[in-house]
Chains A and B, each alone.
Chain A
Amino acid sequence: MIVAARIFAVGGLTSFRALFYWLTPWIYVPTMLVAPIFQILLFAYIGRSAGLESDEFYLIGNALQYASIPCLFAMAQMVGGERYQNTLSAILVSPAPRIPLFFGRSLPVLLNGAFVAAFSLLVGALVLGVHLPASSLAPLGLVVLIAAYSCTGLGLINAAASLRIRENAVLSNVIFGFLLIFTGANVPLDAVPKWMSTAAQGMPFTHAIAAARQLAAGASLGDVRGLLGAELLVGAIYGVAGYALLRWFEVQSRRYATLERS
C-alpha cells in the first residue's frame, strides 16, 4: 500500500517535473498563463464583431477549454517523452502496479489544468471587465476542477496513443481544435448542426462549460448537478478507456518490441 502510494505521489510528481526538463520554470508563463488570455481576447473580439454572444460567454468557454492544453499535451508527453528518453522501458519492466503508476502521473496534470483554467478565468474577467458574482467563485472552482478531470481522462487516451505514434503533438493539436469547435466554447450548441451538438455530449468540457455559464448567471450548485454528473461520467469513461488502452499497448509493445522504436 505504501509502495503504491509512493509510486502514485513521487512518481507522478517526478514525471511532471521532467515535462519541463526543469531548465527554466519561466517557460510555464507564456505557454500556460499568457496564451489563454490571448485566446479569450481573440474570441471575445470576434464575438463582438459577429454580434453573437456576450464577453462572459467567450470568457468562460475559452478559459475552461484551455485546460485541454496542459491536460492533453502533458499526458501525451508524459508517455512520449519518457519513451523518447528511454526511461519508460525501465519503468514498464518493473513490477510496479500500473494503476498508481499511470494515475499518479495524471494527478499533477489535472491540478495544473485546473489552475490554468482558473487563472485564465480570473485574469480574463479582469481584462474584459466581466463581473463574476462572488457567490459563484467557489462553485466555479469546483466546475474547473471537474472539467480538468474530464479532460485528463481524454489525455490518458492521448497518452496511450503515444505508445504507438511518434508525432503526439500533432494529435494533441487536432484534439484541441476539435474541442474548440465542438464543446460550445465559442459557438452555442444550438447554432451548430445536430450531429455536432450530439457528438459534443460525449466530449469533455461541454457540460462543464454549460454549468459554469449557468453558475455565472446566478444559478446554484444544485441547479447544475445534472451537468456536473454528466461531465464526471464522461471523464470516468475516458479515464477507464485510456487506462485499458495503455495496458493494451503496453502488452503489444512488449510482444512486438516497439517500445523503443522512435
Chain B
Amino acid sequence: MRVLRVLGIGWLLHLKIISRSPFAMGVGVTWPIVNATIAYFMYRAGGHPQTLLYASLGSAVAGIWSMAAIDVTGAIQRQRLAFVYAAVGIALLERFLDAARERATLSLT
C-alpha cells in the first residue's frame, strides 16, 4: 500500500512540476511538429503520399520517446539540484531515529 502511495503521489507531483516547465512543454510541442513536417514533405516529394499516415504515427511515437527520455533524466537531475534527495534522506533518517527510539535500539551495538 505504501509503495502504491509513493508511486501515485510521486507521479502526480512530477506531472505538476513538468506541466509548469516551459522547457518540457516547449520541447514536447516543438519536436513532434518538426518531425511530422519533415516527414510530410519528404514523403510527399518522394511520391509516396500513402505512407503519410505511417510518417505521422512515427512522429507522434518519436514525440513520446523524446518526452519520456528528456523528462525522466530531467526529473532526477532537477531534484538533485533542488536538494530534494537530501530532504528525502533526512526524512528517512528521522524515521530510523523514531524506530530506534521506539525499540530502544539506539545504544545497542
Residues of A near any B CB (own CB < 8 A): 43, 46-47, 49-52, 166-167, 169-170, 173-174, 177-178, 180-181, 186-188, 191-192
Contacts and interface: CB of A to CB of B under 8 A. Distances in A.
Given A47-B46, A169-B23, A186-B38, 10 more contacts: A49-B48, A49-B51, A51-B48, A167-B22, A170-B30, A173-B27, A174-B30, A177-B33, A187-B38, A187-B45
Contacts of A170: 22-23, 26-27, 30
A5 to B, nearest CB: 37
A180 B41 contact: no
B37 A50 contact: no
Identify the interface centre among A43, A50, A166: most chain B CB within 10 Å of its CB.
A50
A194 to B, nearest CB: 13
A51 B46 contact: yes
Contacts of B42: 46-47, 50, 52, 186-187
B39 A46 contact: yes
A52 B38 contact: no
B41 A191 contact: yes
Contact of B51 (A50, A187, A188): A50
A181 B22 contact: no
A180 B38 contact: yes
A169 B22 CA distance: 10
B34 interface: yes
B85 interface: no
B43 A181 contact: no
9 contacts: A47-B46, A51-B46, A51-B47, A52-B42, A52-B45, A166-B22, A170-B30, A174-B26, A191-B44
Given A50-B43, A187-B45, A181 B37 contact: yes
- Top 3 nearest A-B pairs by Cβ distance? A170-B26, A50-B46, A191-B45
B40 to A, nearest CB: 9
A141 B47 CA distance: 34
